[in-house]
Amino acid sequence: MSQPVLYLKNANIFQDNILILKNLDFEINKGEFFYLIGKTGSGKSSLLKILYGDLPLIDGVGEVVEYDLPSLKEKQIPFLRRKIGIVFQDFKLLNDRSINDNLLFVLKATGWKDKDKMHSKINEVLTKVGLQDKGYKMPFQLSGGEQQRIAIARALLNDPELIIADEPTGNLDPKTSMEVMELLNQIHKSGKTILMATHDYSLILKYPQRTFKVENGEVFEVVHQQ
C-alpha cells in the first residue's frame, strides 16, 4: 500500500495574518514526483515553507515525513530538515569555502562525526550529480548549473525521504534547466519523493508529472491532456 510522505487537510495558510491559500487538501505518496505551478506571488513558496517548518501551520492538519505540522516545535525543526532535502532558486551555497567544505559543514551541523564516513558521503553525493572532481573549487568558480547541482548534492547528504525544490531552475538558462531536470528525474527514479515548485510550463510539458496548480488562493490538481 502506498504511504503518504506528506499530507495537508483543511489547511489554511497565512502570511502576516493574511490568508494566502485556503482549504488545502492533498497528499503525496512515497516515490511520487509532483509539480506545484502558479504565477509569482500565488503562494507556492508559502506552501513549501509550511512543509519544511519555516511557517507554522496554525489552521488545519498535516504531516510531513512523520512530523505533525500543527504541533511542530522549534526544536524539532532541525530534525525535520534532516529528513527533507531543500533546493532553492538561488543555490544558497556558502561562498567563503570550497564545495567540499560546504558539504562538510552540513554534515557536521547535522551530527556526523566520523571523518572517513563524511568524506565518502561527500564523494558519493558529488558523484551522483556528476561533479566528483569539483569538490576543491569555490562556489563562484562554478557555473550556475553546476552550483545548482552542488545544491542538489547537498540536499542528498542525509538521504532525505523528501526533496523540496523551490524554483530550482529559476536562475538558469533553458539548456542548463533541462540538465537540472534530468538530474532531478534520475534522483526520482532512484526512489526519492520530489515536490518541485516552478512557474515554467515548458519544463512540465517536457517532463510531465502530476501537477498541482496554485491559483486564486486555492490548490487543485491539473489533469494533463495527452
Ligand X SMILES: Nc1ncnc2c1ncn2[C@@H]1O[C@H](COP(=O)(O)OP(=O)(O)OP(=O)(O)O)[C@@H](O)[C@H]1O
CA distance 32 to 192: 7
Helix axes of 174-189 and 144-156: crossing angle, nearest 10 degrees: 20
- DSSP for 144-156 reads HHHHHHHHHHHHH
Helix (H), strand (E) at residue 49: helix 44-51
- Name the residues that contact ligand X, by CB under 6 A: 15-16, 20, 38, 40-46
Indicate the residue type of 134: K
Residue nearest to ligand X (CB): 45
Residue with smaller CB distance to ligand X, 44 or 82: 44
CB of 116 to ligand X, least distance (A): 40
CB of 86 to ligand X, least distance (A): 14
Residue with smaller CB distance to ligand X, 23 or 123: 23
CB of 73 to ligand X, least distance (A): 21
CB of 142 to ligand X, least distance (A): 24
Question: Which residues, in sequence order, are CB contacts of 199 under 8 Å at separation 6+?
Answer: 37, 38, 39, 40, 44, 167
Residue with smaller CB distance to ligand X, 20 or 204: 20
Residue with smaller CB distance to ligand X, 122 or 214: 214
